[in-house]
Structure 1
Amino acid sequence: MNILFFGVHYWDGPWFRKQQFAKRLSDRGHKVFYVEESVSIIRRNKSDRNLPFKTTMRKENDNLYIITPSAIFPYPLNYFTRSLYNLKLLNDSKRFFKRLNVSDFHFWFTRPEHGTFLKKINGLKIFDLCDDLPGYSKLAGDEKSYRQQMRFLTRAFKKSDVQIVSAIRIKEKYQSLSSKEVIVIPNGHSINQNSKYDTYIPPELSEIKKPIIGFIGTLFQFTDDTLLEYIVSHRPQYNFVFVGGVEDSFPIEKIKKYSNVYLLGKRPQNEIGSYIRAFDVCLNTFKIHDVNDSVNPVKVFEYVANKRHVISTMMYSLMKEKIADHITFAKNYDEFLVKLDKSLEKDKANNVPDELIKEYHWDNLFESLIKKLKNVHNLEF
C-alpha cells in the first residue's frame, strides 16, 4: 500500500517515533512518502533544506521517499492559513505521486493541525498523537492557542479512522472525542541489545571526574531549571553532563555558572548510547504539572535500555508503564537529591531484565501496533 506520512521531524535529524514507524512501514514493503517539517521563509537559515516556495522529494530507497516542504510566508498560525498550507502540501505530494503512477494512498499524520483536509482523503486516515499539544498551550496560559489546538484535535479524532497515542493519560483525556477505541503505544528505544555492553567512553567524558550525572536531550521550557540548579548547587562533588541542544525558553545561565556543569551540545544519534553508558546516574527532570502526566520521554527508555539508574520527577503515564519498576521517582527537590545519593551507592548497572528491554524496543512496539490494528480495527498492515 501507499502511505502519505506527515512526520514533521526531519528524516536525518534525531529520531523519534515518527521516523521509527515510517521506516518500519517501508520495511514491510509499503511505499512510504514521509513529509518533513517546514519553516517560515522569514526565519529560514541558509543551511535549511526547505527551499523558498518549492517543495522537493528525494528517494531513500524503493519504498521510502522524503518530501521536504517549501519555506513559506506567512507561516500558518491560524486555522484558515493552516488549512490552506495543508492543501498545498497535499497537492504538492499528489504531483510527486503522479510521476510515480501512485493514485490511491492512506494518510498517517502525527499532529492535530495536519487533519484539516481529511474529507479529501479516500484511503485510511491514521492519527498518531505523540504530545498533548492543547495541554501545552493551556499550561502556557495561551487561551487562544488552546482553543485553536482543541479545534484541530477534535477534528483529527472525529474524522480519522484510527487513533493512536503515546501515553495512557492522553487516552484518558481525549478518548471521549472518538467513537473508536484509542490505541496506546508508548515511546521506546532502538538500543541494540549487544551494544549496551560496549565499554567505549567518549574522550571528552574520560576527562571528567566521577561520578557523572547525565542528561540526554533538549533543555526547554518544560525542563525544571530550578530543580537542576538545586541539585547542581547542593552536590558540587558530582559532575553534571548535558548532551543535547538548549532552547531559548530555557534559562541556561542558571546552571551554566557552576563549575561542575558540562554542556556538551548535540551529538550524533549513533553516539548517544556511549554517553549514556558512561553516566553513573541519568536524569529526567520534567516540571511537575498536568501536561507532564501525558509524556513518556524517549530519553528514559534509552537510559533504562542501557541499564543505567534513572532519577525522575513524578510522571503519571510513565509510572503506569512496566518499565517504571526500574525508574526511581521523586516527589520533591529534597527527595530527588536523597534518591540521587542513594542511586550512586548501588551497582552502576540497573538490573532491568533483558526481556523487558526488548518489549520496549521500537521493533516490538511496532509489531504490537500492527497486532492492535488487526485486533481492534481489523486492519492489515
Structure 2
Amino acid sequence: MLSSHTILCFASGYDAPPTSKHHVMHILAERNVVLWVNYHASRVPSASASDLAHIARKLRQVFAGLNSPRPNLHVLTPLVIPLPASSIARRINRFLLVRRIRRALGHVRSGPVQLWSFTPDVAYLLGRFGEEKVVYYCVDDHSQFTGYDAAQVLRDEEELCRKSDLVVTTSMALQEAKSPWNPNTILVPHGVDYDHFSRAVKEDLPAPPDIASIPRPRLGFFGLIRDWVDLDLLAEVARRRRDWQIVLLGDSTVDLTPYRSIPNMHFLGRKPYADLPAYCRQFDVGLIPFKINELTRAVNPIKLREYLAAGLPVVSTPLPEVELYGPSVNVAKGPEAFARGVSDGLNGQAGASRRAARMEAMRGEGWLAKVEQVCIAAALDQGHLS
C-alpha cells in the first residue's frame, strides 16, 4: 500500500454523498496526507435553484479556507471560473489554482506528491506541483453529462489520459474508450463498504420513523435523483401495483412534481450515509432504475454492491455492468418485465439462504482491495509495500 506521500486529489465536492472517490481517498489518507481539491470546471452552470444553491455553498467553502474533516485529509475549495470553453477563463483559473494549491501544499505536504484526478479537465495543471506520478481515475463518461461541453470534455480527457502514468476505469466500456489514449489503462470495478452495509441484517437496527410508517412491501432506491433515473418507469410500475410502495432517498435535480401525486411513490430526501443500512433493512427490494443511454452504458453503479452487501434482492434496467452479475440481479427492460423482476425478488429471492449468498459474494469486494490493486498496477509503492 502506498505510504508517506502527499496525494493531491482533484474531484467534485467532498461534501456530496460518499462515492468511489471518497472511499479511495479515505483509505489513502490512512498512510498518506491527502489534499482534496474541490474542482468542477467542466460544467457550465445554469440558473436553476439547485445550481444556484451549489454556487452559494461553494462560495461559502471558498471563504472558509482549508478544511480538515478527518485525520490526514484536507479539503480545499478554490475559486474557479466555470467557463470551460473560454481560453481566458482557463488562464485565470490556472493562475489562481496553482497559487492557491501551492500555498495549501506548503501547509500540509508530507512526502513526495502524486496527483490523482477523478475529473477529466486538469491536464493543463500537470507538472505545476512537482508530482512524481499522475493517476486518472475515470468512473463515468463525463462527456455525456447534461450541461457539459462534450467536445471540450473529450479533448481535455484525451490530453489527461495521454499524460497520465495510469488510467483507472471502473467499467469495460470506459476501459475500451480510454485504452487507445493510454496503453496503461486498467479495469478496477468499484468496491463496497461491506462492514457498513452488512449491518442491514442486524435485527436490533431500528427503523427510521419516516419509512416505518410506509406499508410493505417497499421497493427502495438511494442516490442522487438526476436525469438518468427513469422516474417514468417507476411511476408506471407504481400504477400497475398499487400494493407496492416505491421509496426513493436522495437529493433531486429534476422536477418531482408529476410523481409526488402518485400515492405509492415516496420521496424522503437525502439521508446521512451512516443511516443507509437502517433504510436498507426496511427495503424489500433494491432498485436500479436507470435509463439506458450513452452515459449509463458506461456506468458501474456502486449501489448494486451496496444493495447486495445489505442482502437485498436487486432489480435493474439492463446496464451492461449489472448484467455481469447474472443470477444475483433481476435485469428487466420496460415496466412489465421490471414488475416481474420485483415479484421474483419479493418471492423467489426472499429467503435467508439467498440473502446470505448475496452478502457472501460481496465480502471480498472491499475498497481496500481495490486501492491496493491500483497502487500495485501503477507501481506507485516504489519500496513502500508493506
Shift in alpha-carbon separation, 1:353–1:327, aligned structure 2, 3 A: closer
| Separation (CA, whole Å) in 2 of partners of 1:351 and 1:309 | 11
Aligned length: 366
Bigger relative contact order, structure 1 or 2, given CA contacts below 8 A and separation 6+?
2
**How well do the aligned residues superpose, as a CA RMSD in angstroms?**
2.8
**Relative to 1, partners in 2 of residues 1:100 and 1:277: Cα closer, same or farther, differing over 3 Å?**
closer
Question: For residues 25 and 161 of structure 1, what CA distance do their matches in structure 2 show?
Answer: 18
Query: How many Å separate the matches in 1 of 2:383 and 2:12?
Result: 25
1:236 and 2:242 matched: yes
Is contact 2:235-2:265 (8 Å) kept? no
Instruction: Determine if the alignment matches structure 1 residue 364 to structure 2 residue 366.
Output: no
Can you list the C-alpha shifts for 1:150-206, whole angstroms capped at 9, x where unaligned?
Answer: 11111011011111111111011221111x231112223213166232232212222
Runs (5+) with no aligned partner, structure 2:
none
Q: Does 1:76 align with 2:79?
A: no
Equivalents in 2 of 1:45, 1:258: separation in Å? 29
User: What is the CA distance between 1:340 and its match in structure 2?
Assistant: 1.4
Counterpart among 326, 329, 334 of residue 328 in structure 2: 326
Q: 1:288 aligns with which of 287, 292, 295?
A: 292
- Structure 1 53/332 Cα, relative in aligned 2: closer, same or farther at 3 Å? closer
Q: Is the 8 A contact 1:83 1:116 kept in 2?
A: no
Q: What is the CA–CA distance in structure 2 between the aligned matches of 1:103 and 1:93, rounded to whole Å?
A: 16
Partner residue in 2 for 1:246: 252
SS of aligned partner of 2:184: coil
Quote how far apart the aligned CAs of 1:146 are. 1.6
Alignment match, 2:273:
269
Is contact 2:115–2:133 with CA below 8 Å preserved after alignment? yes
Amino acid at match of 2:270: K
Per mean C-alpha deviation after superposition, the further-off stretch among 46-55 and 255-264 is 46-55
Q: 2:36, 2:74 within 8 Å by CA — same for their partners in 1?
A: yes
Structure 1 segment 33-52 matched on structure 2, within 5 A: 33-37=35-39, 43=52, 48=57, 50-51=59-60
The residue type paired with residue 98 of structure 2 is: L
Amino acid across the alignment from 2:377 = K
Distance 1:229 1:374 in 2: 49
From 107, 122, 133, give the equivalent of 1:114.
122
The match for 2:226 is 220
Please, which of 131, 136, 144 is the counterpart of residue 127 of structure 1?
A: 136
**Counterparts of 1:348 and 1:15 in 2: how far apart (Å)?**
30
2:105 maps to: 97
1:160-239 equivalences under 5 Å are 160-178=164-182, 180-192=183-195, 195-199=199-203, 200-239=206-245
Change in Cα spacing, 1:329 to 1:246, as seen in structure 2 (3 Å) is same
- Please say if residues 243 and 265 of structure 1, whose CA atoms lie closer than 8 Å, have aligned partners that are also in contact: yes
> How many angstroms apart in 2 are the aligned matches of 1:330 and 1:134?
27
Match of 1:339 among 333, 338, 341: 341
Q: Which amino acid aligns with 1:334?
A: E
Please state how far the C-alpha of 1:255 moved relative to its aligned partner: 2.0
Partner of 1:7: 11
Say yes or no: does 1:150 pair with 2:154: yes
- 1:295-310 map, 5 Å: 295-310=299-314
Whichever residue aligns with residue 345 of structure 1, its letter is: N
Identify unmatched segments of 5+ residues in structure 1: none
TM-score normalised according to structure 1 size: 0.86
Structure 1 residue identity aligned to 2:274: N
Find the aligned partners of 1:205 and 1:184 in 2 and give their Cα distance. 38
The 2-side partners of 1:222 and 1:379 are apart by 43
Q: Secondary structure at the match of 1:262?
A: strand
Counterpart Cα distance in 1 of 2:98 and 2:111: 13
Check if 1:57 corresponds to 2:66. yes
Q: With structure 2 as the length reference, what TM-score do the two structures score? A: 0.85
Contact 1:280/1:348 (CA < 8 Å) preserved in 2?
Answer: no
The verdict on how the C-alpha distance between 1:364 and 1:207 changes in structure 2, with shifts beyond 3 A counting, is same
